[in-house]
Amino acid sequence: MNKYLKVDPWCIIEEGFDGKRQRSSESIFSIGNGKMGQRANFEEQYTGSTLQGTYVAGIYYPDKTKVGWWKNGYPEYFAKVLNAPNITGINVSVNGESLDLATCRIESFRRVLDMKEGTLSRDFIAVLPSGIRVSVSVMRFLSLDNPETGAIRYGITPLDRDCEIIVNPYLDGNVVNEDTNWNEIFWKQLHHEAAGNEGYIIAQTLKTEFDVACGMHNELLLNGETVNAKPVHQSRTGYAEITYSIRLKKNSRLEIIKTFALLSSMNHEKKRLLHDTKQVLKSAVKKGFTAMLNAHREVWSDIWQHSDIVIEGDDEAQQGIRFNIFHLNQTYRGDDPRLNIGPKGFTGEKYGGSTYWDTEAFCIPLFLCTASASVTRNLLLYRYKHLDKAIENAQKLGFKNGAALYPMVTMNGEECHNEWEITFEEIHRNGAIAFAIYNYVRHTGDDKYLIEYGLEVLIAISRFWSQRVNWSGDKMKYVILGVTGPNEYENNVNNNWYTNTLATWTLQYTLETIEMAKQIDPSGYKRLAEKTKFNDVEETARWKDIIAKMYYPYLETEEIFLQQDGYMDKEQITVNQLDSGQKPLNQKWSWDRILRSCFIKQADVLQGIYLFEDRYDTETISRNYDFYESRTVHESSLSPCVHVVLAARLKKMELAYRLYLRTSRLDIDDYNHEVHEGLHITSMAGTYMAIIEGFAGKRVKEGRLVFNPQMPPKWKSFSFKIIFRGSHLKVEVSNNRVVITNESDHSVEVIVYDHDYDIAENSSVEILRNKS
């Protein structure tokens, strides 16, 4: 861990500056608004170690695959969400010296990410090499009210003498990515101009030919009053800058308001892009910094009304959950089915910013409970719109008859992950997409989606599983060979229990959905069968045979589900026998050593038990949990949350709490020593799962919400709101009672501690908390 940030319920606070931590802080203090995002790079020049990062949703580059040994079926490229033009830059010089925190002596420094209001601010006093002392105060936000805009208020005050201050707000499209396969430049510059107090540039991505236009407007204030300083313009390829020079008296404050706009050809016609950018910027400037900020704050207020979890008695836990909810909501707003949630969001370059199975397995549960059903529906439509590409992906690997293999990594539906053990073998991702459809429908009751879109996806995925299995004459069972399960510290294994279980569940759910479709919308089902050339008799007969005769590895001596064939051939060592200096394994051990070990990167068998908990009694869950948790090193950010949910189910509350802190503070405290690369955005949703499904015991059974609340001993209370099938509930859990308030205009049935409650509209029920 690397704990250097203050604990605060609503803010992330860094006091004192250490350049060695700058990249980590740039990740942690990142801001976004769903359409774009920025690492917390300094506005002024910084010559220390930094990772410049501005990212635009949906804009990517197909970076040609680089491998030592090409294999048939490899994707031709790895999609990269690009470092886009820098729109926040404001260079400052004082009496001819550049303000640069890498060369200044810093008397005080405070950086704050206000999660309640969605603002990033800095306040510092710096001593330049000449001895001049200046005080600087900065606030920045990316507007959620108008997500193509943002603003910066940058103030500077000389503290001990009069000074000549030069400020240079600029736009810079000549940016590069650190993460490139071939050290290519990804942007072509199309336009640049600077006039008056405004500047504009347009850049285009190579190959994909997305256009991005940026505009800025600058206003100067001296001690709060507008000052007319003569602008000096500089405009060249990919760059626009305006220079202002002001003679500033000691203790006088110069403030520059930089309002900016960023638009892309994702949402505007290319031929109108510059015009539209100027109009959007003009509107933002007319509104003004304060009104823009207030409108932005109002959107955040509404988000927190629906998604906040309030924890009393534990500020570390409180800060952790709010940090995760904050970043998820500023990464994805749910209003565009072309967009999804990348593992790093807008906080770094690693993983390319593309879509993984994390969305379906971890993010959907959060958005189902905290946002309109349309948000999750758009995530599912994203996959539906990529179905043809998923079928093409399967065809490249030799599958036919409309079988679909959804990509492990994608931007546009094509597979773009170039590690063979992932691309070819981690096929459980198909099951995660099928389960997400089921999860959405059971939570929302939206059977219409299932008939109109979901069933077509389920049939294509089921066709894949039907072809991916083979009959074992030795076992007299169907088997699935050569896979990688969620535990990526195993590759090319046979009969991963989780994968086999998910495959047959998908087949069964598809069969059930087909029967429902026949009953609800027979004509619609007939059209779908014709469209997909679905053979109702032959295909379903094979699916039923696979379901009946699938092989599942099982360890009789321990009475547990075996992770895969041969797992017990490994030397069985538990994590507590490892020297702490050997962790994390992925940074200390060779890959060969990891693959030969029994250690588990993330929940694998336990991921399946989490999904299909209703199938297993408490003793079965407990035996599997004890065996596999003791061998899990949690070196995937996706791992702890599943363990929290099951630990709480088993009333292992001390362990559940310890793992909750790990998942909620993974990035704040940099557990894995990698936060400098960006945050773990998709796994942040697992923190929400840990509380709602773990400590609150939320489930959905037979169309009703179920709660079995427990509480970590350190907490005095926790509360949250939840949306379910159009109903709005508030759940409050304290030491002795559970209170559920129905904030809807109709009654709601819930189950708490196995008892049924029918809660009338706008009323509450109070229940003694079960502590057994």
User: Which positions are annotated as active-site residues?
Assistant: 488
> By the 8 A CB rule, do 256 and 219 touch?
yes
Residue 8 DSSP code? -
Please give the single-letter amino acid code of residue 32.
G
Helix, strand, coil fractions of the chain, as percent rounded to 5:
35, 25, 40
Q: Do residues 450 and 437 touch, judged by C-beta distance below 8 A?
A: yes
| Preceding peptide of 584 cis, ω within 30° | yes
Cα–Cα distance list, 538 to 15, 116, 436, 500 (Å): 67, 56, 27, 22
Tokens of 141: 């936000």
Is beta strand 239-248 parallel, antiparallel or unpaired with respect to 163-172?
antiparallel
CA pair distance 237, 759, nearest whole angstrom: 64
Q: Which helix (H) or strand (E) holds 681?
A: helix 681-689
DSSP 553-617: -EETTTTEE-SSTTGGGS----GGGS-GGG-SHHHHS-HHHHHHS--BSS-SHHHHHHHTGGGS-
Spatial neighbors of 456 by CB under 8 A, at least 6 apart, are 384, 387, 528, 531, 532
CA-based radius of gyration for the chain: 27
Q: Is 142 helix (H, G, I), strand (E, B) or coil?
A: strand
Measured distance CA(12)–CA(231) in Å, rounded: 37
Q: How many Å apart are CA 568 and CA 598, to the nearest integer?
A: 8
Residue 362 per-residue DSSP state:
I
DSSP-based three-state secondary structure for 639: helix
What one-character-per-residue DSSP string does 317-354 give?
Answer: HHHHHHHHHHHHHHH--S--TT----TTTTS-SGGGG-
The tokens describing 171, both together, are: 């736009």
Q: How far is CA 273 from CA 134, 262, 263, 279, in A?
A: 40, 10, 7, 10
